[in-house]
Structure 1
Amino acid sequence: MTQLSWRQKAGCFFGALKPGDERPELFARSWLGLWAVYWRVPIFLWSLITITWSTAAFWGTTEKYMLYMTHWGLLLILVESLFGVIVALKEDGYVPDKKAEFPWYVKVYWVLYNITIPVAFLITVFYWSILNTVLRTFKKKVNYAPNPTLDVMLHGVNSLVMLTELILSAHPSRLRHVMQPLYFGIVYLIFTIVYYDAGGLDPWGHVFIYPVIDWSKPEQTLVVASLTGLFLALMHILTVGVATLRDMIARRCRSTPNGLYNDGFEA
């Protein structure tokens, strides 16, 4: 059994990338050979249009738009797809050079990719299964979806576009990167605490952003936050599983080996 060094152990704990052990060109094309621009540009345009639409249709004042994780997730999709396009443009036709460093923009894209997909899945499941159930029993009416079509775009299509990114991509998703989406979740949680402590209110004058994340009831909120974190980790595991299945299919569909392999479940 191989003994890990303290650097390797730290890397596993913090979910750090391992620059250089993946070829940059894997981030520029699909396992089908399709240039990544063909699906990342539509995703970028979709997120840009949806952000513009949701901002115009927002039920509160403009400065409160970024209170909600849904909108954080939408912004993540915009930035992730933008970096994805940059990677596709710069790394397509890449000639391997062992001395060259892993490009910084590929690292940024990979981290955004690792965060955005599980967060999109979390937002969809959390909204339709938990938040809607709570709102049905909530005494004061809180309508997060004044426009039904936009509601589906924000809380359904978001996951479909990121599933498209996941299925078409050729680069790996690794189990050890689970800390990256969890760090994002922690940042949002800290934001809600700071906002509550500063006396911030939601657009309807409530002391919470979401009824299930109400820091005037800290014990209840900590339980919900902990369960949500576990579910976010589960969404990352699901992402790794889909990527692994994708690459198994890719290897069987190709007549010649091309080195494509997702080692997400390996140590």
Structure 2
Amino acid sequence: MCKNVAIMPMKKNVDSAMQKSCKPAMLGRMWQASRRSLNLDHAPAHHFACSQWQSSPHPSTTYLIYRWLLFISVISTGIASFACQHLPRQYDGPIRELNYMKWFIYFTNWGYLLITLQSALALAVVIRYRSQKCNSTYEEDEIPIPLGRRVRTPLLCRAYWLSHNIATDLAFVISLVYWTLVHDPRIHEINAINVLVHGGNSLVMVIELLVTSHPVRAAHALYSAGAGLAYGVFSAFYWAVGGTDRIGLPAIYPVLDWNKPGSAFGFVSLCAVVMVFAHALATCVAAVRMRVALRLRARPHADRLALPTH
């Protein structure tokens, strides 16, 4: 009886000690899992240089041509958007000299600059990978890797992946917010440039999601939400130092008027939340693309392995 009484406190002490030791271990595992999901490492690296719909692990000539055409189209539209600035035709206020540098204060143009950046980085990745493959006698899977050493994704690929993720989410949110909350038919004209930067931006990134080969991680939504919050901070600072929009109003956008901080902060928070949902949509599109491509590749192999029916 005495032995049982003595054993009971010992068991309680052991259980409490195990619980205390398990908590730091669990937190450590959660931290490591969070770091892995947020990092920008992905293997194999040729996924950033190839299309999902090509069979070879080397960048194809067709994909290189696509990259050049996309980059030229995107940068041409951006230059036209910057060069063709003008006051609204319905503007009846005092005559103002147009400040072209105010093109950079608009969220739409931030998003379009990111689309241009990601298309330029994607082109650079393809060109670099093709040149490396031409000069190398090794296949990617044949390169010897020392045991215990983890090969990191090249910096160029990581920069492209980050810009691609943020540009995709910003494009979806910009198109949605502009046509639902910002567009005013009395002020904003519906012309080719306006449609391209507020609708063509999303179309370009949808095409990118369907063509590219690299995945989209759900945790990377934090980067896009951070970009949205960064613009909110910029707009508040721009207002605080007396900045105005292109026609002299104190708010860059009517819905982002920091003279009404409550509504402005609510709008920024809403955009950050919508950004997360936009990233979830991009993640689903990329997952469906990868699954469809795997099934299409598996079908010819299944046909070759099938037994004859005669």
The one-letter amino acid paired with 2:218 is L
Residue 24 and residue 158 in structure 1: after superposition, are their counterparts in 2 closer, same or farther (change >3 A)? same
Equivalent of 2:161 in 88, 110, 127: 110
Deviation at 1:17, TM superposition (A): 1.9
Which segments of 5 or more consecutive residues in structure 2 lack a partner in the other structure? 1-24, 87-97, 134-138, 302-310
Other-structure match for 1:87: 125
Equivalent of 1:51 in 78, 85, 109: 78
The one-letter amino acid paired with 2:47 is L
Alignment of structure 1 residues 101-250 onto 2, 5 Å: 101-132=152-183, 135=184, 143-145=187-189, 148-250=191-293
Q: Does the aligned pair in 1 maintain the 2:40–2:153 contact within 8 Å?
A: no
Deviation at 1:55, TM superposition (A): 1.0
Deviation at 1:91, TM superposition (A): 2.4
Whole-Å separation in 1 of the counterparts to 2:280 and 2:111: 19
Whole-Å separation in 1 of the counterparts to 2:263 and 2:168: 27
Equivalent of 1:32 in 41, 53, 59: 53
1:148-188 Cα distance to aligned partner (Å, 9 max, x none): 11111111111111111110011100101111111111111
Q: Does the aligned pair in 1 maintain the 2:40–2:158 contact within 8 Å?
A: no
**Secondary structure, in 3 states, of the residue corresponding to 2:256?**
coil
CA RMSD of aligned residues (A): 2.3
Normalising by the residue count of structure 1, what TM-score does the alignment of the two structures yield? 0.85
The one-letter amino acid paired with 2:39 is L
Whole-Å separation in 1 of the counterparts to 2:223 and 2:300: 31
Larger helix fraction of residues:
2
The one-letter amino acid paired with 1:74 is Y
**Secondary structure, in 3 states, of the residue corresponding to 1:212?**
helix
**Secondary structure, in 3 states, of the residue corresponding to 1:232?**
helix
Other-structure match for 1:264: none
Q: Does the aligned pair in 1 maintain the 2:64–2:123 contact within 8 Å?
A: yes
The one-letter amino acid paired with 1:17 is N
Alignment of structure 1 residues 2-21 onto 2, 5 Å: 3=26, 5=29, 7-11=31-35, 16-19=38-41, 21=42
1:42 has 2:42 as partner: no
Which segments of 5 or more consecutive residues in structure 1 lack a partner in the other structure? 259-267
Deviation at 1:16, TM superposition (A): 2.7
Other-structure match for 1:22: 43
1:126-152 Cα distance to aligned partner (Å, 9 max, x none): 1111212xx36xxxx6x344x611111
Q: Which has the larger radius of gyration?
A: 2
Equivalent of 2:109 in 71, 78, 83: 71
Whole-Å separation in 2 of the counterparts to 1:149 and 1:245: 32
Deviation at 1:11, TM superposition (A): 2.2
Whole-Å separation in 2 of the counterparts to 1:49 and 1:218: 37
Q: Which has the higher contact order (CA 8 A, sep 6+)?
A: 1
Whole-Å separation in 1 of the counterparts to 2:69 and 2:181: 30
Q: What is the count of residue pairs matched by the alignment? A: 246
Whole-Å separation in 1 of the counterparts to 2:249 and 2:300: 58
Q: Does the aligned pair in 2 maintain the 1:39–1:165 contact within 8 Å?
A: no
Whole-Å separation in 1 of the counterparts to 2:48 and 2:191: 35
Q: Does the aligned pair in 1 maintain the 2:169–2:278 contact within 8 Å?
A: yes
**Secondary structure, in 3 states, of the residue corresponding to 2:257?**
coil
1:16-51 Cα distance to aligned partner (Å, 9 max, x none): 3242x4211011111111733232222211121111
